Amino acid sequence: MTLMERKKSAQNLAETIHSLLGLKSNLTSNWIRSVCGIMRSLPSPRSSNRIGLKISDTEKENNTSDMDLSMVIPKIKDELAELSDCIRQLNVQRRQVLNEYLDMKGNIRVFCRVRPMNVNENIGCARPVVATDSSNVFLKVARGNNKSYSFDKVFHPSSSQGEVFSEVEPVIKSALDGYNACIFAYGQTGTGKTFTMEGTRDFPGIVPRSIEALFEHALESNCTYLFTFSMLEIYLGNLKDLFVPQPKKPTDPRPPCLSVQMDARGGIEVENLVAIPVSDYNQALRLYKLGCRFRSTASTNSNLTSSRSHCMIRIKITCSDAPERRRESNKVWLVDLGGSERVLKTKAWGKRLEEGKAINLSLSALGDVINALQRKKPHIPFRNSKLTQVLKDSLGEDSKTLMLVHVSPKEEDLCETICTLGFAARVRSIHLGTEDPIESARKEAAMQTLQETMVKIEDERQRISREIKDLNRKLENLMGTSPSYENDHSTTEEPEFDFGTSKHKAKDARAAPLSKLPRFMRPTICSQRKSGTEHQISEGKHLGQTKRRRAPSHRAGSVNFPMKSHSDYRSDCSISRASCLIDLDTMCNADTETEYSQDTNECDVKMVVLSEERRFPITTDGKAQLDHNMVLPSIGSKFYSTEILEVADGLNSQNAVNAAGSCKSKRVPAVPLPPKFRCNGQSNAGVSCTESSDAENSPLKGLIDICKNREESQKSYSSSSTSEAEIDKLITPSTGFMDTHSESCCRTPSLTNESMICTQHSIDALMILDHDSTNYHCPHDVACGRLDQNSNNGRVDQLTPMDGVKSETHSFEASPYEHREYCFSPFGSPHDSIGQEKELGVSTSNCNVEPDNSNLSLGLTRGDPKSASLFGKSTAGRQRDMLRMKHQRALFKDNANHNNAGMGLKRVSAEGNTQNTGTVVCPEICFTSHARNPFSLTFDRHVVSPPKEVLESIFYHSSGTGTPRPWIRG
Ligand SMILES: Nc1ncnc2c1ncn2[C@@H]1O[C@H](COP(=O)(O)OP(=O)(O)OP(=O)(O)O)[C@@H](O)[C@H]1O
């Protein structure tokens, strides 16, 4: 037999056998075995794989030319189709099992996360009152009278972000299966809700991880998904789209408020909410960061960057080619709720009080709703708040809900912790000991079985995936083209639930040895502790951990709007009807306020029909109009027709808006002044100044005039030599004012020596630990009046000659994990000298006083405070800066470039420009620390303090107690 004939006969035999194999049910296994034996004995045998033909590479090389490809290829394709069907069925099974598993766990699950003590709390008197195991929280209320609360899962203080997300992951997974999902972070203010949801650059929270997981799973799937990303906040009962540019000035037209609509099937839609399609993780993250910038945050007694609203992220998922999905279009809500707060404790007033009340009301309404859902009550009070209205179709039986309750470990927060845990217990409807042990054991066993089933399904999927991969490769070789079965949805070697492969994701070291299991099924640190198999791994310490490079999120407050009904101070935004219900003078606390939820009528579902002009306000500024048009949905968009915008358009327009002056629109919380310091005729400046003839005689008059002239002529400072000369004259100390050598400070408060008092108090009250007290002063609660040159025609009449000088150098060390804004004033704390504490609320307001002759050189170093470096001072620069600091804010930023010893001092001007500089001269220093590690700040001060009456009209410090100071002495 020639080689050619042998090949031909082998081929024919193989084909014959193969066709017979199609009738395999009629053939005996012995017969197949013997035929296969014959085939193996033939030259260049063709081995058979599962049911098809397998051609070795060498043989392919030799025989491709004469093989009858038209026979082999269809068979491989048939095989692939069969395997794809298998995978599809396994997917359906997996979905069912996952859903069953989640149902058993509960469609509404409540987790608890206990915040770790921060450095300041550790060194202070606070002692932790919260102890946890994997599902219980124990409160040390009194000796022998501990309280305990049970949760679906408890994350203790050392739990990592990855651990938290591992419990959230199944919900995200089931969102891809078409279920609506809702994940909340609830808790007292300052307990770490934003940390859990947003996280930091190095410790990304649930939002970035969820986005990433969604895209990863979608990629692995064989379906085509469309994701759209939206962000809104509920601020004082109003829905605000965080992607719509906010007005830069109070007079600018405001974008219309969003309204909630319901369709015939009970689906909820937020009308006009901008939804931007995103196709990958990076796009979504960019949008998220963008939206975060417009969130309303403010400083309170409890948290320097307190969220004053509920921030809601909506990811809408649409998939039309997966009939097995629960819905064609569904949504995931990720909600960072505003912090519940006891108004009496936070001492909030005015704006902050209203915000706190609005937050408490809606949280109470949310608790009512979830409780009613849990108890399967016939009436669910969705209409009691905007929050619950928006989430109506995402809470309930057909949805997955996760509530992450956050508590503080501090003793002084015990009351709030009890309230929070009580709320959680109410939501969960289960208190410790009320669960039937037999029933829970049965449930545990069933869940265990489901877990095992899922693992089996996952194994099978992987095996078939590998086969598909092999066949595809062969097909490619035979055809010389890419495989036609590219959409095999399980081509990856990784288990479907393992997210550790993403290039964006910080890898979880614990994933490796337990990779057999989906991550959310792997034991957590808690359970490992319980079972004695604890891995001593904490977040950030993993070897080889890939850090996610996330830019630090920037926060900015909302734009100020004049509030008519409260004319004695500037305020922002409108007041909801809910907040109006409550008398501002009433001293309530959070506990009593929660009773108001049923009275709130802020939440009626309404159809807002806006005129064209209102939807698209025509401004004289063509660009502004363009911005709005680019981002707002189209006029014609009706209910359920939220326009989908191009992500690039949205981002571009936002960037344009930001560049145009987002810094300008940052919140500058205004602080009302007591009547004695308020002057007639001035309302929009924090401090009003009557015109006084004394001003004409003021030694600062020259300086004031210079400023005025400068504004009028719009000249740059540097170009005005006259100005500089005059400034020089004014600021140069003549009678020993500028003592450049540090001298020891007068520490004896003496009303007769105001300059010393002021200088010392500014440090004592704002920065230095009060060793005699168990409490700390609240350094950030600096309320500043404004001497607004525009509104006051440039006169700063109350400033009188300077009468003191101090030069000091101090070094401090900030605590880690701070993402805070600090303010301090070289003028000092006047409340002692005034003789009474001013309970004027809190603010980290800009200080817009005229440049005085205080001079600060600021330097920032990382790590060792002793090695703090000072930026050099340049006389010329200082003079320029002194003027520039008017209406400016000094902002420290943790530079990404760690090699830079100075770490970069960035100044943000009123115009939004930033410039690196080494010297700051300003009457008040405000800066934001994004530092994760301790850093130190060293400054030289040369303060010439104004006399008491000037201080009284400019600065007030609230006397917040109990709030840990962000600073410790370095
Ligand atoms: N698990 C944690 N690990 C480390 N730091 C944390 C943790 N939780 C919270 N923090 C820190 O505590 C501070 C307050 O947290 P955060 O701002 O997230 O609180 P919040 O509950 O969102 O407050 P609010 O409701 O007022 O907005 C932040 O500096 C944050 O970094």
Count of residues in the chain: 970
Which atom of ligand 1 sits closest to the CA of residue 157? Answer: 1
Closest CA to 830 of 954, 961, 670: 954
Residue 37 carries which side chain, given as an amino acid letter?
A: G
Residue 691 to residue 679: CA distance in whole angstroms: 9
Q: Is the pTM of the predicted complex or chain greater than 0.95?
A: no
Evaluate whether 197 touches 312 at the Cβ level (below 8 Å): no
pLDDT score recorded for residue 151: 85
- CA–centroid distance, 193 to ligand 1, in Å, is 6
Q: Among 817, 818, 930, which residue has the most ligand 1 atoms within 8 Å of its CB, making it the best to mutate? A: 817
pLDDT value at position 731?
29
**For ligand 1, atom 2: residue with the closest CA:** 115
For 384-395, write each residue's pLDDT tens digit. 888 999 988 888
Which DSSP string corresponds to 787-806?
A: B-TTTTTT--TT-------E
Strands 399-407 and 180-187, by their bridges, are parallel
Q: What is the pLDDT of residue 699?
A: 33
β-partners of residue 860 are 937
Q: What's the rounded mean pLDDT across residues 25-45?
A: 60
Using a pLDDT cut of 70, give the percent of the chain over it: 37
Is residue 32 scored above 50 in pLDDT?
A: yes
What's residue 176's pLDDT? 87
Q: Label residue 309 by pLDDT band (50, 70, 90).
A: confident
Query: Distance from the CA of 459 to the center of ligand 1, in angstroms?
Result: 40
Tell me what pLDDT residue 349 has: 60
The response to whether 806 counts as a known ligand-binding position is no
Q: Give the best-scoring range by mean pLDDT among 4-13, 136-145, 418-427.
A: 418-427
696, pLDDT greater than 90:
no
Answer yes or no: are the C-beta atoms of 161 and 207 closer than 8 Å: no
Measuring CA to CA, which residue among 181, 672, 110, 817 is closest to residue 406?
Answer: 110
Per DSSP, the three-state class of 382 is: helix
Residue 347's pLDDT is: 59
Can you give the three-state secondary structure of 914-943, one letter per residue? EEECCEECCCCEEEEECCCCCEEEEEEEEE
> In ligand 1, which atom is closest to the CA atom of 195?
18
In the prediction, which pLDDT does 463 show? 86
With a cut of 60, say whether residue 470 has pLDDT above it.
yes
User: Binning pLDDT at 50, 70 and 90, where does residue 317 land?
Assistant: very high
Q: Is the pLDDT of residue 315 over 90?
A: yes
| Arithmetic mean of pLDDT over the chain | 55
Which residue out of 111, 113, 115 has the highest number of ligand 1 atoms within 8 Å of its CB and is therefore the one to mutate? 115
Kindly tell me if the per-residue pLDDT of 270 is higher than 50: yes
CA of 458 to the centre of ligand 1 (A): 37
Q: Whose CA is nearest to atom 29 of ligand 1?
A: 818
Question: Is the pLDDT reported for residue 953 higher than 90?
Answer: no
Most confident stretch, 299-313, 637-651, 893-907: 299-313
- Select, from the ranges 158-167, 252-261, 639-648, the one with the highest average predicted confidence (pLDDT): 158-167
Backbone angles phi, psi at 132, to 5 degrees: -140, 155
Give 20's pLDDT tier (boundaries 50, 70, 90): low
Min mean pLDDT across 57-71, 81-95, 393-407, 609-623 is at 609-623
Local confidence band at 313 (pLDDT 50, 70, 90 cut-offs): very high
Higher pLDDT, 809 or 254: 254
Cα–Cα dist 170/168, whole Å? 6
Q: Residue 190 has what DSSP assignment?
A: T
Q: What pLDDT, on the 0 to 100 scale, is given for residue 477?
A: 80
Nearest residue (CA) to ligand 1, atom 8: 192
Which residue would you say has higher pLDDT here, 885 or 813?
813
Segment 463-484 mean pLDDT: 76
If one residue of 194, 311, 408 were mutated to test the ligand 1 pocket, choosing by the most ligand atoms within 8 A of its CB, it would be 194
Model confidence at 623: pLDDT above 50: no
Report yes or no: 408 and 190 within 8 Å, Cβ to Cβ.
yes
Among the residue ranges 36-40, 171-175, 244-248, 528-532, the one predicted with the least confidence is 528-532
Q: Which ligand 1 atom is nearest residue 336's CA?
A: 22
pLDDT at position 604 is 30
Measured in Å, residue 442 CA sits from the centre of ligand 1 at 38
Q: What is the pLDDT of residue 240?
A: 85
Between the CA of 190 and the centroid of ligand 1 the distance, in Å, is: 5
Q: What is the mean pLDDT of residues 508-527?
A: 42
Rounded to whole angstroms, how far apart are CA atoms 66 and 61?
A: 10
Per-residue model confidence (pLDDT) at position 425: 81
Ligand 1 centroid vs 130 CA: distance in angstroms? 17
Q: 245-249, 320-324, 325-329, 391-395: which has the highest mean pLDDT?
A: 391-395
Q: Which CATH architecture has domain 159-366+376-411+555-659?
A: 3-Layer(aba) Sandwich (3.40)
Q: What is the pLDDT of residues 700-751, one digit of tens each?
A: 343 334 334 434 433 333 333 333 343 233 323 332 222 323 222 222 222 2
Ligand 1: residues with CB < 6 A are 115-116, 187, 189-195, 303, 305-307, 338-339, 406, 817-819
- 308 Cα–ligand 1 center, Å: 14
Tell me how far apart the alpha carbons of residues 387 and 267 are, in angstroms, rounded to a whole number.
15
860 C-alpha to ligand 1 centroid (Å): 24
Average pLDDT over residues 870-876: 26
| Mean pLDDT computed over 348-367 | 77
Specify the pLDDT at position 370. Answer: 83
Q: Whose CA is nearest to atom 11 of ligand 1?
A: 192
Give the confidence band of 266 by pLDDT, cuts at 50, 70, 90: confident
699 CA from centroid of ligand 1 (Å): 47
Annotated binding residue 650: no
State the DSSP string of 226-264: EEEEEEEEEETTEEEETTSPPPSSTTSPPPPPPEEEE-T
Residue 338 CA: nearest ligand 1 atom is: 25
Distance 764 CA to ligand 1 centre (A): 26
Sequence spans of domains, the chain = 3-67, 159-366+376-411+555-659, 465-529, 736-969
Output the residue whose Cα is nearest ligand 1's atom 23. Answer: 190
Q: State the pLDDT confidence band at 67, using cuts at 50, 70 and 90.
A: low
Mean pLDDT of 786-813: 31
Q: Which residue's CA is the nearest one to ligand 1's atom 31?
A: 817
Task: Report which ligand 1 atom has the smallest distance to the Cα of 337.
Answer: 25
Tell me if 196 is assigned to a ligand binding site. Answer: no
> Does residue 631 register a pLDDT over 50?
no
Would you state the pLDDT for residue 17? 60
Rounded to a whole number, what is the distance in angstroms from the first to the last CA of the chain?
A: 94
187 is in an annotated binding site: yes
Burial class (CB in 10 A: 0-12, 13-18, 19+), 512: exposed
- The Cα 622–Cα 491 span in angstroms is 52
pLDDT band at 307 (very low <50, low <70, confident <90, very high): low
Output the CA 312–ligand 1 centroid distance in Å: 18
Protein residue with least CA distance to atom 10, ligand 1? 192
Whether residue 333 has pLDDT greater than 70: yes
User: What is the Cα gyration radius of the chain?
Assistant: 33
The per-residue pLDDT for 395 is 84
Is 11 annotated among the ligand-binding residues?
Answer: no
Question: Any idea what DSSP says for residue 718?
Answer: T
Band (pLDDT 50/70/90 cuts) for residue 296 is low
The stretch 932-961 carries a mean pLDDT of: 34
pLDDT of residue 757: 25
ipTM above 0.95, yes or no: yes
Chain centroid, CA 628 distance in Å: 25
Residue 189 in marked binding region: yes
Highest mean pLDDT among 6-15, 660-669, 828-837: 6-15
Under the banding of pLDDT at 50, 70 and 90, the label for residue 101 is confident
Average pLDDT over residues 425-449: 67
Q: How confident is the model at residue 28 (pLDDT cuts 50, 70, 90)?
A: low
Q: Which residue has the higher pLDDT, 54 or 284?
A: 284
pLDDT of residue 466: 85
The residue with greater pLDDT, 200 or 645, is 200
